[in-house]
Amino acid sequence: MKLVPEWEDHSHCLIAWPCNKTLYGSVIEKARLEIANLANHISEEEKVIIYCNRVDYEDCKKIIANPKIEIHQTALDDSWMRDIAPIFYKENNQLQSMSFEFNGYGKYPNFNNDNKMADYISNQLNISPKKIDLILEGGGITYDEKGNLFTTESVLLNPNRRNPSKDKISDILTDLFELKSVMWFEQGLFDDDTDGHIDNILCPIGNDSYLLASSNNQYSPNYKVLLEIKKKLKEEFSKKNSSISIIDIPLPSDCSIEGKKLVSSYINFYFTKNKIFLPKFDVPEDLEVLDIFKSLFNKKQIVMLDTKNINYGGGNIHCVTMNVPKI
């Protein structure tokens, strides 16, 4: 497989500075402070590059105030780096990248700048990107170390993505990344603005182990969705005569900002070599999830960060970052 699991070492972390005032509204300054806090924490572990619009450059420098972090001016429409960065992979022991199409999730009118970011970043890293005529966001896929890629039909097969058929997409991704399988789940979290990105519900962590968002609330629209995903995961791996471990990670209790209910998940986190950065929601599940992660990753420091204002804009820690594998 060409894809490099996220838990392996990184050379860089890429971040986009929040700029979409239509989405963030009055919380945009708070979201920027949260991004700065996240970036400063990650910079203790790996090199961080922040991209921001020219109009925000001076403010970004003042808020970041960290000489270890590079800040580059470029044209952005939004801050979801996971979805607009190239997909990095390894070929012949070299770092390579693929540049997929981005169309603003098929619903936002301003995406042309973001659709250029994959090429821009690749060129900056001295990589000639392989351009792929398929609309795919980085948060819409996840993968393990054994050639299995996971995604949701509600995203890649959504008419607003204007993609080919399910079988065709599976064939394309299998050929591009030398996969063993593409596992499709019907949908992601209810009301997810991305139409159900996989990075809010499932995260492989190696050694046949998978973190899966879970809910004990039978009245939640996510209850049956997540049970179906667990059932399908078990069924698909049983066909391969493989035994896997599925670790339930509870969804946080309902939280909202300025009357807007947040679509939130602890699965939306970021690996570094020595730490894991988890979102914190100031709800009872925070401590429960912290304990689970400490038991799973006893050689890493688990750091929980306030990111509710980032979440207000439609994503979280994983969504606003992109790891560049260290080859």
**Buried b or exposed e, range 42-81, using 16+ CB within 10 angstroms:** bbebbebbbbbbeebbeebeebbebeebebeebebbbbbb
What letter does residue 147 receive in the DSSP assignment? S
What letter does residue 201 receive in the DSSP assignment? T
Question: In this predicted model, what pLDDT tens digit does every residue of 22-44 receive, in sequence order?
Answer: 999 999 999 999 999 999 999 99
The predicted structure's pLDDT at residue 235 = 95
HSE, side-chain direction, 13 A CA sphere, residue 202: 31
Domains recognised in the chain with CATH numbers: 10-325 (3.75.10.10)
The predicted structure's pLDDT at residue 240 = 87
| CA 93 – CA 323 distance, rounded (Å) | 17
Q: Which amino acid is at 107?
A: K
The mean pLDDT value for 137-151 works out to: 98
Q: What is the 3-state secondary structure (H, E, C) of 229-243?
A: HHHHHHHHHHHCCCC
pLDDT at residue 242 tops 90: no
The mean pLDDT value for 289-302 works out to: 98
Is residue 204 within 8 Å of residue 254, measured between CB atoms?
A: no
| DSSP per-residue letters across 237-292 | HHHTT---EEEEEEPPPP-EETTEEP---TT--EE-SSEEEEEE-SSTHHHHHHHH
